[in-house]
Amino acid sequence: MKKLRKAVFPVAGLGTRFLPATKAVPKEMLTVVDRPVIQYVVDEAREAGIEHFIFVTGRNKAVIEDHFDLQFELYDTLEQRGKNEVLSRLKGMQPAPGQTSFTRQQEPLGLGHAVWCAREIVGDEPFALLLPDMIMQSEPGCLKQMVDLYEKTGNNIVAVEECDPLETHKYGIVVKGKDVHSGFELTGMVEKPKPEDAPTNLYINGRYILQPEIFSILENQERGAGNEIQLTDSMLRLLEKQPFYGYHFKGRTFDCGSPEGFVEANLAFALARPDMKKHVTDFMREIAAE
């Protein structure tokens, strides 16, 4: 089994649900407490052992590349001012030279197309895929939990959670087979089914481990739900050739692509900080009582 070394982050989306905030700032750079959303997802991948971070960007996303670059002037100024704590935090988040790659999805043709754009950089090895709209709170992180299963099963894994049965049209939905280690065999999947057509309410939460054979299927560029090239459709084809597993994620997920999920994430991550917990709790009590 080839080691999982690479992760793909599709960050080309327009962020229309967040306008006007995302008019000039990519949605992945909006901050949850004091870190941009994309940083949470990259940190989750690093914790899971990922060594190469591949970003599929688009127009107006150059600031993401800057965020992961070494900022010599800033580091030097912080050092001169003795701000050692923040400096070492920044350095700890810094990918090593050569650990990042950036490529562009030139047209918004869907998630399947975005992933396909990374094919040359991923090459012939397994890769993780993390959708930055979704950030998770768990110990260990979602991808690390999946890697623990992957080391036993190999092949392909998607993380799932339960959604409101009336909201299946927002997600990829999977069908569960028999249990295997900490996961289960995946026997089917469908992208964004109407509630009355959905086989279950187990939704794909935005974390995947995939084999490179997915690229030759994505190559066909067939359109699916919403007239987009859907990753789920290609995964369903891969399922006919290779084992596929589901992993029921243990933790909390926030959909930072929606304003409600974003506010929830800010509250939850602030409350998880020992230096902020009391202040935020007191403030929430105060305004809730008004």
Site of interaction with ligand G1P (CB under 6 A): 111, 131, 133-134, 171-172, 191, 203-206, 230-232
DSSP 217-269: HHTT----GGGS--HHHHHHHHHTTS-EEEEE--SEEEETTSHHHHHHHHHHH
Contact 34, 24 (CB under 8 A): no
Smallest CA-to-CA distance from 115 within 17, 6, 9 is with 9
Our CB check for ligand G1P shows the closer of 44 and 133 to be: 133
By beta-carbon proximity to ligand G1P, the closer residue of 126 and 206 is 206
Nearer to ligand G1P, 226 or 274 (CB): 226
Looking only at the bridges linking them, the beta strands covering 127-130 and 202-210 are antiparallel
* Shortest Cβ 75–ligand G1P spacing (Å): 35
Kindly state the smallest distance separating residue 202's Cβ from ligand G1P, in Å.
Answer: 10
CB of 257 to ligand G1P, least distance (A): 7
DSSP string, 144-173: HHHHHHHHHH-SEEEEEEE--GGGGGGSEE
Over its C-alpha atoms, the chain yields an Rg (Å, rounded) of: 19
Nearer to ligand G1P, 163 or 270 (CB): 163
**Separation CA 216–CA 261 (nearest Å):** 35
Name the minimum Å distance from CB 228 to ligand G1P: 8
Pairing verdict, β 100-104 and 156-162: unpaired
Residue 13 CB, shortest distance to ligand G1P, in Å, is: 7
Closest distance of CB 28 from ligand G1P, Å: 13
* Paired tokens of 18: 């967040």
Q: Cβ of residue 35: shortest distance to ligand G1P, in angstroms?
A: 20
CA-to-CA distance for 7 and 144, rounded, in angstroms? 12
Which burial class, exposed, middle or buried, applies to 47 when counting CB atoms under 10 A from its CB (0-12, 13-18, 19+)? middle
Residue nearest to ligand G1P (CB): 172
The residue among 183 and 224 lying less far from ligand G1P, judged by its C-beta, is 224
Q: Which is nearer to ligand G1P, 78 or 206 (CB)?
A: 206
CB 219 to ligand G1P: min, Å: 18
At 28, is the secondary structure helix, strand, or coil?
Answer: helix
Q: Token pair for residue 275? A: 């230096």
78 vs 136 by CB, closer to ligand G1P: 136
Q: Which CB sits closer to ligand G1P, 56 or 78? A: 56
Residue type, 254: F
